[in-house]
Amino acid sequence: MRIVVVNQHVEDVIGGSEIQCDLIARYLTQFGHDVMYAAMSPRKQSYDASYPVVPLEKPSWRSLLTVIREFRPDIIYWRYNKHQFLASAIVARMYRVTIVFGVSHIRDTKMFHLDNTSHRGRGRLRPQFIRFYKALIGAINYLGFYLVNAVTLLNADLFGKVPVKHQVVIRNSMSPQVTAFDWHKPFVLWVASLKPRKNPDIYIKLATLFPDLDFLMAGPVQNQGYAFVNDCTQLPRNVHYLGVVPPDLVNGILRSHHCICLVHTCDPEGFGNIFIQAWLQSKPTLTLYFDPEGIIENKGIGYLAGTFENLVNKLQILVDDPGLRKKMGQRAYEFASQHFRPEINIREIEKLFSEVANT
């Protein structure tokens, strides 16, 4: 099949969906398909990838039209949330190209999503007109779902929440490749973009209650209200900001024998890649708000705290009980190795594409 994958590219943005799309493009190419990656909001003109990448300049729908005319794809796999989706879907349908939408976040399933996040005390709420404008644009682009042939869902909790008949749950995958990492004392790890809905402030507050434990943070600063992390003098002495860290080094950090667990403070989203990375490295997960499909609690591979007070209590339990951590980590690895392997999950994507091509 001739397949176009649409998203930002991992060489521009190291994000969850970008990592997934890179894996999907690589494996589909290995499976013998003709894959073109259409990079939205590109930051460069050439990419070091095992598949061709074409940067889509604005307006993106017009650039996508050129790709469709020249490449003649059978499938467009859209994983760029709802951004610019309606116009692009109309263009694709005009040329009778099958569209599969990859749901990556709970916001993808909402027609009208009003962003109420703030800077958690470091700024103000977004001006009302900007918030309503973005919500209105999102609602308009939601109409693109009526032109979609199928959707993939990374989380079964999202099933049935978009107006598309053909829906398939296909889990994310992660590479187990590791870059070695060493640290001089026990630590916990937090990995996410630094912005309000990821709640980095809560992680930093947690660190102040465990002065003998190091708290490592990794991820890009996407909201300037959190630029203070670049100045170590503005952080507790046991908090260490590592900056943007590639996935293989994140795996190495998690694999370190000094790593106690992953701490996750983000608001509910899709299915964080970082969960999978932690489990593949045999580390339990301590999450404040989000437990996709109830896996963490049901499989006994960590804790869903629910409140800050419980987050503190559960972390203390994990710090004090290495035997419990080891058992949780073993269960996490066994579960992850069965459900998050790219060679299996991307075959499921390939199967779906074959079923819906030219429908």
User: CA geometry: angle at 88 spanning 222 and 137, to 5°?
Assistant: 55
Running DSSP on this structure, what letter comes out for residue 221?
A: B
Q: Which of 37, 72, 75 is nearest to 56 (CA)?
A: 37
Predicted local distance difference test score (pLDDT) of residue 203? 98
Handedness of CA 155, 156, 158, 160 (dihedral sign): positive
Listed range (55-64, 92-101, 110-119) with the worst mean pLDDT: 110-119
What average pLDDT does range 133-141 have in this prediction?
Answer: 93
Residue 116 — pLDDT band, cuts 50, 70, 90?
low
Mean pLDDT of the chain: 94
What is the CATH code of the structural domain delimited by 187-339?
Answer: 3.40.50.2000
pLDDT in tens, 183-219: 999 999 999 999 999 999 999 999 999 999 999 999 9
Is a pLDDT exceeding 90 seen at residue 287?
A: yes
Strand 34-40 to 53-56 pairing: parallel
| pLDDT tens for each residue of 44-84 | 999 999 999 999 998 889 999 999 999 999 999 999 999 99
pLDDT, residue 120, reads: 43
Q: Where do the structural domains in the chain lie, given as residue ranges? A: 2-173+341-356, 187-339
Give me the phi and psi of 7, to 5 degrees please: -175, 175
If we measure between CA atoms, which residue out of 22, 30, 31 comes closest to residue 77? 22
Backbone angles phi, psi at 2, to 5 degrees: -100, 120
Confidence of residue 126 (pLDDT cuts 50, 70, 90): low
Residue 128 binned pLDDT confidence (cut-offs 50, 70, 90): confident
> What pLDDT, on a 0 to 100 scale, did the predictor assign at position 121?
38
CATH among 3.40.50.2000, 3.30.1330.10, 3.90.110.10, 3.30.2350.10 for 2-173+341-356: 3.40.50.2000
- pLDDT value for 100: 98
pLDDT at 358 over 80: no
Name the pTM for this structure. 0.91
> Which residue in the block uniquely carries the two structure tokens 């690895």?
333
Residue 288 has pLDDT above 60, yes or no: yes
CA distances from 247 to 155, 219, 275, 280, 315 (A): 21, 11, 12, 12, 24
Share of the chain above pLDDT 90, in %: 89
Question: 117 pLDDT exceeds 80?
Answer: no
SS3 (DSSP) at 106:
helix
Indicate if 187-339 has the same CATH topology as 2-173+341-356. yes
In this prediction, residues 25-33 reach a mean pLDDT of 98
Peptide bond into 196 cis (omega under 30): no
| Predicted pLDDT at 218 | 98
Is the pLDDT score of 123 beyond 50?
Answer: no
Mean pLDDT of 124-140: 81
Percent of all residues in the chain with a pLDDT value above 70, rounded to a whole number: 97
Among 64, 157, 53, 63, residue whose Cα is nearest residue 108: 157
Closest CA to 172 of 20, 351, 338, 279: 20
Contact partners, residue 52, CB within 8 Å, separation at least 6: 35, 36, 37
d(CA 272, CA 278): 10
Phi/psi for 85 (5° steps) reads -75, -45
pLDDT at 133: 87
List all residues 6 or more positions away from 217 whose beta carbon is below 8 Å from its beta carbon.
Answer: 189, 190, 191, 194, 200, 203, 229, 239, 240, 241, 242
What are the tens digits of pLDDT across the range 206-252?
999 999 999 999 999 999 999 999 999 999 999 999 999 999 999 99
Largest CA distance in the chain: 61
What secondary structure letter does DSSP report for 169? E
- 153-180 pLDDT per residue, tens: 999 999 999 999 999 999 999 988 999 9
